[in-house]
Structure 1
C-alpha cells in the first residue's frame, strides 16, 4: 500500500508485511542498542547485552506482525532505509502486556531484564490519555541516512497514515534520547510527562491527530 508519493530524492513509503521482518530487526537493533533507556533496562554493563536487545526486538516485532499491526517502510532508490512500527487504537494496551511476549522474553532475555522492561512500559501506559490513539512502538532510520531530512518526511507520512482512522485522537511515543526531543516538539508533539528509567528521563509525547505541523 503506497502511503506517500515518490519524490525527487526517490523517497517512497510503503506499508509492508512480515516478509521484511529480518531486515527490520537488523535496522532496529542498530538504532535501539544505542538508546540510553535500552542500555539501562537490558543491563548493558553485563555480558550478553546485544543478545538481550535482539531478543526484545525479535519478540516485539514478531508479535507485532502476528497481531497484524501496521508497519511502514521508508525506501530510497529501492532500498529500505527506515521502518516504523505502529500500534492502532484497536490495541488497547502495549504488546508488552501480551503473555506470549512476557514468556518469550523471560526465556531469552532473562527475568530481571523482562521485569525492568515491563515496569517501564507500565509507567508509560499510566501517563497516556484514556482515549483511542496510535502508539509509535519503533521508528528507525539507517545511521548513514540520518540528518538529511528523511525523518521529517517519514514522520509526516506516519501522521497522514494515522489520520485515516477517524476514531484516533492522536499519536504517542516516548524517548529518553535528548537528541530527538526538540525534533518531536518542532513537529507538533506535546509532553504528557516523563518516567524515570534508572537515571534516564524518558519523555512521553502526544501529537493530536488534527495537528498537521511540519518544520
Structure 2
C-alpha cells in the first residue's frame, strides 16, 4: 500500500502482532463515545461500558488476525497514528465468529449485546448484496491526540490502493455511527446507500465504487 503525502515520515503498512495492543488502544479511544455502541452494549455504568467495549475490540481484532483480514496502520515514523480494520472476505470472517468467538464475547459483553451486534451485521450485509463481492471498513480510528491533521484522509487514500490490488472487489462499504464523520467519507467519493435506524439510532451506510 502507498499514499502520497506532504510528510516524508508517514508510512502505511499492515499491522504486526506487536502493534495490536496499540491499535486496540487507538480504537478504544475513538469509539469510547460512539452512541450506537453505547446503546447496543447497554451498560448501566461507565466502568461496565468500558469493559464491554474493550472486550468487543479485543475479540474483533482476534477474529481479524485469525482469518488474515487486512489490519492497516498509518505510522508517523514508528508511532501508530491511525488504524483501519477491513473485511476482505466476509464469509471467512463469519466462519471464525461461530461458537468460540461468540461465546467469549457473550461472556464479556453479554448475550443480548452480542446478538444485537450480529443482527446489525446481518442487516448491513443484506443491504450490500447487490455490491458483492466488496470490502467492508469495519473500524477506522485516528489517535485522538492528532485528530484534525489529515491522518484520516491519508489512511482512506491508502485503502484505495488496497482495493486496487483486488481485481474482483466492487469497492468499499462503511457504516458510520457518528454523523460528523460523513464529510470525511463523502470527500473520498463514498456515496450514501441508505439511512436507517438501528437500535433507535439513525445511521448511514455508504459505498465507494472501485
Task: Please say if residues 87 and 137 of structure 1, whose CA atoms lie closer than 8 Å, have aligned partners that are also in contact.
Answer: yes
Q: Which residue in the other structure is 2:175 paired with?
A: 174
Task: Please say if residues 193 and 205 of structure 2, whose CA atoms lie closer than 8 Å, have aligned partners that are also in contact.
Answer: yes
Q: Aligned runs of 1:57-206 on 2, under 5 Å?
A: 57-88=57-88, 90-92=89-91, 95=94, 98-99=97-98, 100-130=100-130, 131-206=132-207
Query: Cα RMSD (Å) of the superposition?
Result: 2.0
Per the normalisation by structure 2, the TM-score is 0.90
Q: 1:30 to 1:94 in 2, by over 3 A?
A: same
1:11 is aligned to 2:10: yes
Q: Could you say what secondary structure the match of 1:3 adopts?
A: coil
Cα displacement (A) at 1:22: 1.0
Q: Distance in 2 between matches of 1:185 and 1:147?
A: 16
1:107-146: per-residue Cα shift (whole Å, max 9, x none)? 1111121122122221111111341111111111001111
Q: Distance in 2 between matches of 1:60 and 1:175?
A: 17
- Return the structure number with greater relative CO, CA threshold 8 A, min gap 6: 2
Q: Could you say what secondary structure the match of 2:2 adopts?
A: strand
Cα displacement (A) at 1:93: 6.8
Gaps of 5+ in 2: none
Task: Please say if residues 3 and 157 of structure 2, whose CA atoms lie closer than 8 Å, have aligned partners that are also in contact.
Answer: no
Q: Which residue in the other structure is 2:19 paired with?
A: 20
Per the normalisation by structure 1, the TM-score is 0.88
Q: 1:195 to 1:98 in 2, by over 3 A?
A: farther
Q: Greater shift after overlay, 123-132 or 48-57?
A: 123-132
Q: 1:37 to 1:135 in 2, by over 3 A?
A: same
Q: Could you say what secondary structure the match of 1:85 adopts?
A: strand
Cα displacement (A) at 1:9: 5.5
Task: Please say if residues 67 and 96 of structure 2, whose CA atoms lie closer than 8 Å, have aligned partners that are also in contact.
Answer: no
Q: Distance in 2 between matches of 1:194 and 1:6?
A: 33
Q: Greater shift after overlay, 189-198 or 68-77?
A: 189-198
1:9-33: per-residue Cα shift (whole Å, max 9, x none)? 6221111232211111111111112
Cα displacement (A) at 1:97: 7.5
- Count of paired positions: 207
Q: Distance in 1 between matches of 2:180 and 2:193?
A: 18
Cα displacement (A) at 1:197: 2.4
Q: Which has the larger share of helix?
A: 2
Q: 1:113 to 1:96 in 2, by over 3 A?
A: farther
